[in-house]
Amino acid sequence: MRVLILGATGLLGKALVRAWTADEVLAMGSRDVDIRDSAKVREVVERARPDWVVLAAAYTDVDGCESHRELAFSVNRDGAVNVARAARQAGARLIFLSSDYVFDGQKTSPYEVDDKRNPQSVYGHSKAEAEINLLEILPTCCIARTSWVFGVGGRCFPDTIMRLAASRPALDVVNDQRGCPTYTVDLARAIIQLCRKGVSGIVHVTNAGDCSWFEFAQEIVVGAGLATKVRPVSSQQMARPAPRPAYSVLSATSLRRDGIEMPGWKDALGRYLQERKS
């Protein structure tokens, strides 16, 4: 199988490149190809002649998207459309990374793949519109929604918590937003399996279990052997430019249907901390 990874220098992209060893892989970062450039995208895909295109490139700064709306849509929606059209023209399959932020967070039970999209942030809107467009352009594409992604080699929540904990006696972390932390190593392995199984449609791909950001931070501090106290606060107390869903836990039903199981998020965090040390 020949695979083209777009966004190969990002947090997930790096994990994909490390994990994808049994196939022919061409990895390209944003310096190699800007997905907003439709002609360049078409040229790259035609030249690569892949069986699968993995679109991991995105503008993921959720708060930044609020003040850079045009950039968010040009990358996350229009860039994805460019890749989908190029993949269709080249006869390639496509897997697109989407987000739990396509939901409004009003549910109290895990979101299923066919639950209604109702994004509350610019980032969420850009991803939701990308999903709708991609399913029209390339009905056989695979949309892998994930959440709370962390891993080595870039900025992520555990990295931030440990960096702040190194210089502060206490940290305030929101306790009224609930989701599923997802380790790039496990996410990459699942994506590889989805491609090998030829999966199409929407799939939810996260580590098993859920927690609040406060509970996540507590586990990080304890697992890293830090003495910092973690204090629960409300989202109102920690106001951010972009609204976050209060509950964005993604159901594993769709992933299990495809015969894929993900480890628990606490197990994943332990492996991340070990990887970070080494």
- Per-residue pLDDT tens digits for 178-224: 999 999 999 999 999 999 999 999 999 999 999 999 999 999 999 99
Would you report the helix, strand and coil content of the chain in percent, each value rounded to 5?
40, 20, 40
CATH of the domain at 64: 3.40.50.720
Q: What are the tokens at 219?
A: 């586990």
Residue 239 pLDDT greater than 90, yes or no: no
How many domains, the chain? 1
**Would residue 97 count as lying in a domain?**
yes
| Residue 268: strand, helix, or coil | helix
**Would residue 237 count as lying in a domain?**
no
**Would residue 132 count as lying in a domain?**
yes
**Would residue 241 count as lying in a domain?**
no
Residue 260 pLDDT greater than 90, yes or no: yes
Residue 121 pLDDT greater than 90, yes or no: yes
Catalytic annotation, residues: 123
**Would residue 14 count as lying in a domain?**
yes
Distance CA 236, CA 224 (A): 28
Instruction: Give percent of the chain with pLDDT exceeding 70.
Output: 100
If you average pLDDT over residues 79-88, what whole number do you get? Answer: 98
- Quote the domain boundaries for residue 75: 2-155+182-208+248-264
**Would residue 198 count as lying in a domain?**
yes
Residue 161 pLDDT greater than 90, yes or no: yes
- Per-residue pLDDT tens digits for 59-73: 999 999 999 999 999
If you average pLDDT over residues 128-154, what whole number do you get? Answer: 97
Residue 106 pLDDT greater than 90, yes or no: yes
pTM comes to: 0.97
Distance CA 58, CA 69 (A): 13
Per the prediction, the chain carries an average pLDDT of 97
25 — pLDDT class (breaks 50, 70, 90)? very high
**Would residue 173 count as lying in a domain?**
no
**Would residue 228 count as lying in a domain?**
no
What is the pLDDT, as a whole number, of residue 187?
Answer: 98
The secondary structure of 37-91 as a DSSP string is -HHHHHHHHHHH--SEEEE------HHHHHH-HHHHHIIIIIIHHHHHHHHHHHT
